[in-house]
Amino acid sequence: MKKIALLPLIVFGLLVIVLAAGLRLDPAEVPSPLVGKPVPPFRLARVEDPKASFSPSDLAGQVWLLNVWASWCGTCRQEHPALMAFSRSAKVPLIGLDYKDPRGSGAAWLEQLGNPYRWSVLDADGRVGIDFGVYGVPETFVIDKKGIIRFKFIGALTPELIRSTLQPLLRELENA
Amino acid sequence: MRRALCLCVLLWCAPAWARDAGRAQAIAEQLRCLVCQNQTIAESDAPLARDLRMQVSEQLAQGRSDQQVIAFMVARYGDFVLYRPPVKPMTWLLWFGPFVFLGGGLFQLYRVARRHEQELT
């Protein structure tokens, strides 16, 4: 058999590899252009105490997490136990962005399920969410000591993701 | 008299409104809805599409140019928010690939035809 007859087989093999790699990607996932950029500034009223407010500048010099959630979000309910476990053991502040919730709904949800957040702020009209490139809920951003966004989790955080990806990253950023 | 004056002011503003509305629609037809990703934010009913359409209108009302509004969206959502992928080195394969393959196929066809012709003569 001539060697050249193997060419279609080789091309087919390469095609299988490329397509198999492609099948493992999620085409609906939108990578964030904000990774590596400074966290968008904002100042919003706190969910627990509307008279108080929070801004990312309040946590300058610290590594922290911003978790986008809402009382109307079913996946957030699924993510909630993992966040509760994480916040109980972790030293890194977990800040919540209550996205497009009517006033009071977020607070009631936290009352009912438990509050894993150090503070939550209310983004009632979703404008801060747009600044963060939020297109679904939940999403979680990791911010380093210099206020740079270093990672974005799209979808719910699971115990596996926390253990395999989040905690090593936090360790690395804390030691920086 | 005051009613007539109000009417005059409104009619005078109307062309600006219409112009901005036209620009907002044109921009919205260039931006992808991140939720219903096969639609533009002009077509999509998703809440995010509504929010983004509102952002576009507000920014135009503030005097931003079309390019500035689109840049605002790309800065937050990346190139994927552009309904038509931009033509840059990263997307050359996407845009020109089909033509390259077509060219390659036609070339092969030509070679086979030539060989056939030579074998026949």
pLDDT in tens, A40-85: 999 999 999 999 999 999 999 999 999 999 999 999 999 999 999 9
DSSP helix/strand/coil, A96: strand
Those of residues 54-113 in B touching chain A at CB distance below 8 A are 55, 74-78, 80-81
Evaluate if residue B13 carries a pLDDT over 80. no
Q: What is the pTM of this model?
A: 0.84
Looking at residue B59, what is its pLDDT? 94
What is the least distance, in Å, from the CA of A142 to any CA of chain B?
A: 16
Looking at the complex, does the CB of residue B52 fall below 8 Å from at least one CB of chain A?
yes
Evaluate if residue B16 carries a pLDDT over 80. no
Residues 6+ apart with CB under 8 A from A49: none
Indicate the range of A39-43, A164-168, B85-89, B102-106 predicted with least confidence. B85-89
The pLDDT of A155-165, averaged and rounded, is: 95
Looking at residue B62, what is its pLDDT? 93
Looking at the complex, does the CB of residue A28 fall below 8 Å from at least one CB of chain B?
yes
- Residues of chain B with Cβ-Cβ distance to A131 below 8 Å are 76
The pLDDT of A155-166, averaged and rounded, is: 95
The pLDDT of B71-80, averaged and rounded, is: 95
Looking at residue A1, what is its pLDDT? 63
Looking at the complex, does the CB of residue A100 fall below 8 Å from at least one CB of chain B?
yes
Contact B35 A133 (CB under 8 A): no
Contact A31 B78 (CB under 8 A): yes
Lookup result for tokens 């196929």: B105
Cα distance between residue B113 and residue B52, in whole Å: 55
DSSP helix/strand/coil, A140: strand
**What is the biggest distance separating any 2 CA atoms in chain A, rounded to whole angstroms?**
82
pLDDT tens digit string along A17-32? Answer: 999 998 988 878 888 9
Looking at residue B2, what is its pLDDT? 87
Q: Which of B80, B70, B72 is nearest to B33 (CA)?
A: B80
Cα distance between residue A130 and residue A95, in whole Å: 17
Cα distance between residue B94 and residue B71, in whole Å: 22
Query: Which of the two residues, A115 and A4, has the higher pLDDT score?
Result: A115
What ipTM was predicted for this assembly?
Answer: 0.85
Indicate the residue of B48, B55, B74 with minimum beta-carbon distance to A135: B48
Average pLDDT, chain A: 94
Looking at the complex, does the CB of residue A31 fall below 8 Å from at least one CB of chain B?
yes
Cα distance between residue A158 and residue A172, in whole Å: 20
Residue-wise over A120-130: b if at least 16 C-beta within 10 A, else e?
A: bbbbeebebbb
